[in-house]
Amino acid sequence: MQIIVIGCGKVGIKLVSQLTREDNNITVIDTKEEAVQLVSDTYDVMGIVGNGTSFKVLSEADIEHADMLIAVTSSDEVNLLCCVIAKRTRCLTVARVRNPVYSRERDFFRRELGLSMIINPEFEAALEVGRLFRYPFAIEVDRFAKGRADLLRFRVPADSSLAGRALKDLGRETQNVLICIAEHEGKICIPDGNYVIESGDILSVIVDQYNSGQFFKRIGMRTNQIKNALLIGGSRLSYYVAKILENTDIEVRIIERDMQRCEELADLLKKADIVNGNGSNHEFLREERIDQFDAMLASMKMDEENIILSLYARDKIRYKVVTDVSHIEVNGVIKNLDLDSIISPKSITAETIVQFVRATANGMGSNIETLYQLLDGEVEALEFFIQPNAPVLGIPLMNLELKPNILIAGIVRKGKLIIPGGQDEIASGDSVIIVTTNTGFTDINDILK
């Protein structure tokens, strides 16, 4: 595809990095010459210095022949205007929009302005925080089949019944569950039946959302329900998390050091308890009884503050600590720290846009419904909707000639998750979940040799 990316910030760079690996023709636009130079030199893409709201600049980027324009500058208004101008050429348009006021009008923008997609990083990240609060025993939660199936990533405790056993020898413990990714001492694999689980391993499992609690109880992990949450930092992310939790029984307290922001949050949130104070001050947190909270989100302005606060809170908060990390490039440095769960709105934004790009690639009617890039992009989990003419229909899974490093992790049929065995077959209308260390799949046909 021929794609124009406007904005060479962290999200723009992440997008270019991913999309160039998938043989797309990319042109980047930014008002900062040094930013354009860095991206164009690093990824061998065409770079243009200028304002993406200028039709002259867009014409220089060959907007007339572009398949898609993605606007991810720091300004919502610029992103929206870029997309409106680009619609004159009938290309697909994607805009990053962060302001809650604009987000509430998302449907209007898409319908009246003809935008193909609007992505709100903090709102998408808040949805993931909400899932982590629902599954406090999980490090990461990814959702498939419109919430009917979950991919849960967790660390095997020392006293787990799984430790020291091969996958093929597990019986009741893994009923209605499929272990699809294993991480051992930094090495990642899609395990076969001979893989022996060790305590400390990080496993990813596909499970029906209604059976997840039973699975974790069978392997000796507590599935405590969160009753209250402490959000430190009155960020957009904290606002969206609190807004989502208003519809639950979870009590929310937000600590924010800026009084004006506290007043804004008090007007916007009717149920949350808003406290003015320094959330990075440990004495203040003790006064606020941090040890009485089941869950915490660290979402202040600086990643370093969030990381240090999360490390401090690990043995204070009862069940779940989530750390907001904005600088994508530091993930490799902090992944070896003893953090519970890490959330990155910018990474989620890039991942969601890449999913949309693949799903519309070359206008071929690709059937991707969901895409997650896991473990710094080393593994992908994809969900495909199966069309009536798919070549995988009616063949026992054991007879499908699959490319290496591919696992058919789940089949969702009529709203129910099937953990597939060798005799199972894929039917038209199914949603099929694939886990693979390969990248760039756009169609279910890509899994075949």
Residues 234 and 338 in one domain: yes
CA atoms within 13 A on the CB side of 194: 0
Please check whether residue 5 is in contact with residue 27, taking contact to mean a CB–CB distance below 8 angstroms. Answer: yes
Please check whether residue 97 is in contact with residue 118, taking contact to mean a CB–CB distance below 8 angstroms. Answer: yes
* pLDDT at site 100: 82
User: Which phi-psi region, left, alpha or beta, contains residue 349 (left: φ > 0; alpha: ψ -120 to 50)?
Assistant: alpha
* 285 assigned to some structural domain: yes
* 241 assigned to some structural domain: yes
* pLDDT at site 113: 80
* pLDDT at site 178: 92
Residues 254 and 324 in one domain: yes
The residues of the chain scoring below 50 in pLDDT are: 362-365
Residues 74 and 54 in one domain: yes
Q: Of 419, 323, 438, 322, whose CA–CA distance to 371 is shortest?
A: 438
Residues 291 and 397 in one domain: no
Q: Which neighbouring-strand residues pair with 203? A: 154, 182
- Helix and strand numbers (H, E) in the chain are 14, 22
Residues 204 and 240 in one domain: no
* 129 assigned to some structural domain: no
Residue 379: partners with Cβ closer than 8 Å, 6 or more residues away: 181, 188, 190, 373, 435, 436, 437
Residues 234 and 211 in one domain: no
User: Which phi-psi region, left, alpha or beta, contains residue 220 (left: φ > 0; alpha: ψ -120 to 50)?
Assistant: left
Nearest-5° Cα angle at 417, 198 to 402: 70
Residues 8 and 112 in one domain: yes
Residues 10 and 31 in one domain: yes
* 131 assigned to some structural domain: no
Pairing of strands 25-30, 46-49: parallel
In angstroms, rounded to a whole number, what is the distance separating the alpha carbons of residues 53 and 79? 8
* 392 assigned to some structural domain: yes
* pLDDT at site 330: 55
* pLDDT at site 365: 42
Residues 339 and 427 in one domain: no
In angstroms, rounded to a whole number, what is the distance separating the alpha carbons of residues 102 and 95? 11
At 275, which CATH number? 3.40.50.720
For CA atoms 296, 212, 150, 437, give the dihedral sign.
positive
* 283 assigned to some structural domain: yes
Q: Give the total number of structural domains in the chain.
A: 4
At 162, which CATH number? 3.30.70.1450
Instruction: Tell me the per-residue pLDDT of 400-435, one tens digit each, with 9 for 90 and over.
Output: 999 999 999 999 998 899 999 999 999 999 999 999
The residue assigned the tokens 């572009």 is 66
Domain boundary residue, one of 188, 218, 248: 218
| pTM listed for this prediction | 0.86
Token pair for residue 398? 């054991």
Domain boundary residue, one of 67, 90, 119: 119
User: Which phi-psi region, left, alpha or beta, contains residue 365 (left: φ > 0; alpha: ψ -120 to 50)?
Assistant: left
Residues 19 and 88 in one domain: yes
Range of the domain at 293: 228-343
E strand or H helix at 267: helix 259-268
Strand order in the sheet with 431-436: 368-374, 379-385, 431-436, 406-413, 416-418
Residues 180 and 213 in one domain: yes
* 126 assigned to some structural domain: no
Instruction: Tell me the per-residue pLDDT of 39-84, one tens digit each, with 9 for 90 and over.
Output: 999 998 999 999 999 999 999 999 999 999 999 999 999 999 999 9
Residue 255: partners with Cβ closer than 8 Å, 6 or more residues away: 230, 231, 232, 233, 234, 275, 276, 277, 278, 279, 285, 288
Q: How many Cβ atoms are within 10 Å of 41's Cβ, its own excluded?
A: 10
* pLDDT at site 410: 94
Q: What is the CA radius of gyration of the chain?
A: 23
Pairing of strands 2-6, 25-30: parallel
* 125 assigned to some structural domain: no
In angstroms, rounded to a whole number, what is the distance separating the alpha carbons of residues 200 and 206? 19
Residue type, 235: S
Distances (CA, A) of 326 to 11, 141, 264, 300: 10, 19, 23, 10
In angstroms, rounded to a whole number, what is the distance separating the alpha carbons of residues 15 and 355? 11
Residues 8 and 72 in one domain: yes
